[in-house]
Structure 1
Amino acid sequence: MKKILMILTSHSRMENTDSTTGVWLGEFTDPYYEFRDAGYEVTLASPAGGTPPVDPLSTVTENITESNRRFNDDPVAKSAFDHTYRLSTLEPGQFDGVFYPGGHGPIWDLASNETSGRLIVDYLENGKPVAAVCHGPAALIKAAELRPGLLQGKRVAAFTNAEETLTMRASNVPYELETRLKELGADFRSALVPFTSHVETDGLLITGQNPLSAGPTARAMIKFFGQPAS
């Protein structure tokens, strides 16, 4: 049985607004059930431990996915979400791969979290896949700072500058993720049409562009392991 570590944000505050952010719920639930249905064991962690904040916009009707509804009726999953492990207390060697869901939170805490950054470097150096979706690829920033050149020429997908502008949150974030990843040498790729699914697999690095890419990113990780995806 493959063991997947999912690392979620603990950050909720945005800049220049009273609005809050956190985990985009569908970017957690879609991959979570892809892994569970493939027979994988999933462990949840976050920088602070406990219950991660959830972006309120991800719970409004138009953004609710089938996996959101399944999660709401799943006491085991809800308990795991409410009691995530503090990342610094885990032994990363026990897992076969790591997955970072999005929501805007990661561009603050996971982008600067050294424990997370070192885990990514260690996994990539030891043949373990690293997957992230939407703003989750912000976790790659700290890894690239710890290991300069880590993203040089790597095909990477993430939430685009255009999508940031279209969501009207560009003034509420400290930097645009697409721009930062390019500055670190990434070969940034995206769908021609904003908010449509797009996934890039470059060796051990698997990244998705936006909420619609969450399930496909998990399926790409399952494909990496050589098992049929749900």
Structure 2
Amino acid sequence: MKNILMILTSHSKLENTDTKTGVWLGEFTDPYYEFKDAGYSITLASPHGGQPPVDEMSKMTENITASNKRFQDDEELKTAFSSTKKLSEIDPKDYDAVFFAGGHGPMFDLAKDPECGKIIVSFFNDGKPISAVCHGSAAFLSTENIDKNFLNGRRISCFTNTEETLVLKRGKVPYLLEDALKEKGAEIKSALVPFTTHVEQDGTIITGQNPVSAGPTARKLIEVLDNM
């Protein structure tokens, strides 16, 4: 059985607003059930461990996915979600792939978490798939203190500057993720139309652009794993 490590944010605060952030629920539940239904074992982790915050906007009717509804009736998963492991407790050798869920939170914590950087570099060096969706791609910024050139020339997808503007969050985040990744040398790939699906694969790195890309990104990761 393949073992997937899913990493979630522990951060809940945006800038210049009382609005909270956290995990974008569908960017966790859509991939989770793709992995579960494929027969994989899944471990949840976050910087602080325990219950990650959830972006309340992701619970609104227009953002609810079928997997969100499934989650509400899944007592086993809700228990696991409330008791994630700390990143410091994770040994990358125990897992076959890692997936970073989105929500604005990763821009604040995963982007600079030293344990996150170690995990990514370890997976990469071992030839294991690394996947992220939306703002989960901020996790790649954490590699800078280990390998300053890690992102140089890599094709990555993420929530774009245009999408950030359209959701009115530009003044509420510390930086624009697309710009930050480009500054480290990444080549950003995205759909021509905002908020439509885009999945990018560059070797063992698989990334998705936005919430609707979460399930397709997970399926691409499954495809890569099944062919390894």
Matched position secondary structure for 1:132: strand
Aligned to 1:85: 85
Aligned to 1:29: 29
Superposed counterparts of 1:10-21, under 5 Å: 10-21=10-21
Checking the alignment, whether the CA contact within 8 Å between 2:92 and 2:122 is kept in structure 1 is no
User: After TM superposition, which residue ranges in structure 1, 4 or more long, deviate above 6 angstroms?
Assistant: none
Alpha-carbon separation, structure 2, partners of 1:60 and 1:212: 15
Alpha-carbon separation, structure 2, partners of 1:150 and 1:67: 33
**Count of residues paired in the alignment:** 227
Give, in angstroms, the shift of residue 144 of structure 1: 3.4
Superposed counterparts of 1:193-204, under 5 Å: 193-204=193-204
User: In the alignment, residue 120 of structure 1 is paired with which amino acid?
Assistant: I
Alpha-carbon separation, structure 2, partners of 1:129 and 1:96: 7
Alignment RMSD: 0.8
User: In the alignment, residue 78 of structure 2 is paired with which amino acid?
Assistant: K
Alpha-carbon separation, structure 2, partners of 1:151 and 1:87: 21
Alpha-carbon separation, structure 1, partners of 2:144 and 2:123: 13
1:176-220 per-residue CA deviation (whole Å, 9 max, x = no partner) reads: 000000011111000000000100000010000000000011001
Any gaps of 5 or more consecutive residues in structure 1?
Answer: none
User: In the alignment, residue 49 of structure 1 is paired with which amino acid?
Assistant: G
Give, in angstroms, the shift of residue 225 of structure 1: 1.1
1:59-82 per-residue CA deviation (whole Å, 9 max, x = no partner) reads: 000000000000000111111101
Aligned to 1:124: 124
Matched position secondary structure for 2:112: coil
Alpha-carbon separation, structure 2, partners of 1:146 and 1:171: 30
Alpha-carbon separation, structure 1, partners of 2:86 and 2:149: 29
Superposed counterparts of 1:45-194, under 5 Å: 45-194=45-194
Query: Relative to structure 2, which stretch is displaced further, 183-192 or 146-155?
Result: 146-155
Give, in angstroms, the shift of residue 90 of structure 1: 2.0
Matched position secondary structure for 1:124: helix
TM-score, normalised to structure 2's length? 0.98
Give, in angstroms, the shift of residue 92 of structure 1: 1.8
Alpha-carbon separation, structure 2, partners of 1:137 and 1:29: 17
Alpha-carbon separation, structure 2, partners of 1:49 and 1:148: 27
Checking the alignment, whether the CA contact within 8 Å between 2:110 and 2:116 is kept in structure 1 is yes
Any gaps of 5 or more consecutive residues in structure 2?
Answer: none
Matched position secondary structure for 2:144: helix
Alpha-carbon separation, structure 1, partners of 2:130 and 2:90: 17
Alpha-carbon separation, structure 2, partners of 1:145 and 1:166: 32
TM-score, normalised to structure 1's length? 0.97
User: In the alignment, residue 114 of structure 2 is paired with which amino acid?
Assistant: E
Alpha-carbon separation, structure 1, partners of 2:144 and 2:204: 15
Aligned to 2:223: 223
Alpha-carbon separation, structure 2, partners of 1:26 and 1:47: 20
1:32-61 per-residue CA deviation (whole Å, 9 max, x = no partner) reads: 000000000000000001100000000000
1:102-127 per-residue CA deviation (whole Å, 9 max, x = no partner) reads: 00000000000000101101110110
Alpha-carbon separation, structure 2, partners of 1:145 and 1:185: 15
Alpha-carbon separation, structure 2, partners of 1:225 and 1:97: 8
